[in-house]
Structure 1
Amino acid sequence: MNLACNTEKTTMLERLYREHYAWLYVWLCNRLQQNSHVEDVLQDTFVKLLKSNLVEQIQHPKSYLAQTASRIIIDQARRKYIEQAYLDYLATHQQDSDCNTPENILCAIELLERLASMLEGLDAQVRQIFLLRYLDELTQLQIAARLNLSRGTVQRALIHAIQHCDAIIREQ
């Protein structure tokens, strides 16, 4: 039975690919400036579809493919921004060159990317308080003074942010 389901999923995915590849390619070309980037997003879109268990449930393929591709573009832009910010930080702070191996940089960028996606669902002020506490290592009193808030407000925001992150980790 599982083999039959996989065969049906593969057949549906092949059909989606044949029927909508050209349309999605043109759609992406109209939205992206680099054609080489179009191919990457196109491939990532169909790979994501392959990995999902939703192929059989797609009722509006063009809408679904466009939304999936858009999310991939946003994720790639966020990753590029995080990567550049980290590289700028390293250049500014002249960290120990032994720590700046490509592997360590990649791990740090992936960690920062994961943190950014976890914090995405938070209110801007709560996110700012969290980052000031755990990235800038400010105390709650320093954060309160900087943002003109009470210590209690800062403390509640930190609790909320930690609970939010914990809930996301537990879902994974």
Structure 2
Amino acid sequence: MSGDELSVHQRTEALYSQHQPWLAGWLRHRMGGEDAAVDLAQDTFVRILTARDLPALAEPRAFLATIARRLLANHYRRNAIERAYLDALALVPEEYAPDPEQRKLVLEQLYAVDAALDALPAKVREAFLLAQLEGMKYEEIAARLGVTTRTVGNYMVRAVQACFFLQEGAR
């Protein structure tokens, strides 16, 4: 480990020892006492360690809460995706239902698509979702977003490219 990495590691360790109980409690309060709160607290510190950079912190709890909020939002979004998938599977006759391994693979792909769409600008993501999930035409999307139909077309190209590159990366 270089001197800088050691310093980040030591500072993260100090941050952990001073604030982990507070962060776990903060998350537990927001999650209704779920045990997942402890896991998300751990993930918060893992995120800091993997970033390999830890700025000087005037407000360490605000810093930790910001990271934890993002992880919490991801946690709830993943749960919503899983619930929606399982609800859809409940409508499939048992003989056509995927096996547990296939379910896991599909969920991983759904999470990856969600992350790819989440990385897009808000209007690009919204245009794509309105077209794909709501079946709206470009003209309707343009009116709703206050942009031109040409801009909607550009948004769609960006979103489709994000999904395509995701698929290409999986190969």
**TM-score scaled by structure 2?**
0.73
**Structure 1 vs Structure 2 CA RMSD:** 3.3
Per-residue Cα deviation, 1:69-125 (whole angstroms, up to 9, x for no partner): 11111111111110111111122133754x622221111111111212222334223
- Say if 2:28 and 2:35, in contact at 8 Å, map to a contact too: no
Secondary structure, counterpart of 1:34 in structure 2: coil
Aligned residue-pair number: 156
How far did residue 8 of structure 1 move?
1.8
How far did residue 155 of structure 1 move?
4.4
- Say if 1:28 and 1:38, in contact at 8 Å, map to a contact too: yes
Query: Which stretches of structure 1, 4 residues or longer, exceed 4 Å deviation after superposition?
Result: 147-150, 152-157, 166-169
Q: Distance in 2 between matches of 1:48 and 1:148?
A: 36
Match of 1:51 in 2: 50
**TM-score scaled by structure 1?**
0.72
Query: Which AA in structure 2 matches 1:20?
Result: H
Structure 1 segments unaligned to the other structure (5+ residues)? none
How far did residue 4 of structure 1 move?
2.5
Q: Does 1:144 align with 2:146?
A: no
Higher mean alpha-carbon deviation, 31-40 vs 10-19, is at: 31-40
% same residue: 26
- Written as runs of structure 1 = structure 2, the 5 A alignment for 1:1-172 is 2-55=1-54, 57-59=55-57, 60-94=59-93, 96-97=95-96, 100-120=98-118, 121-123=121-123, 124-129=126-131, 131-132=132-133, 143-144=136-137, 155-163=153-161, 165=162
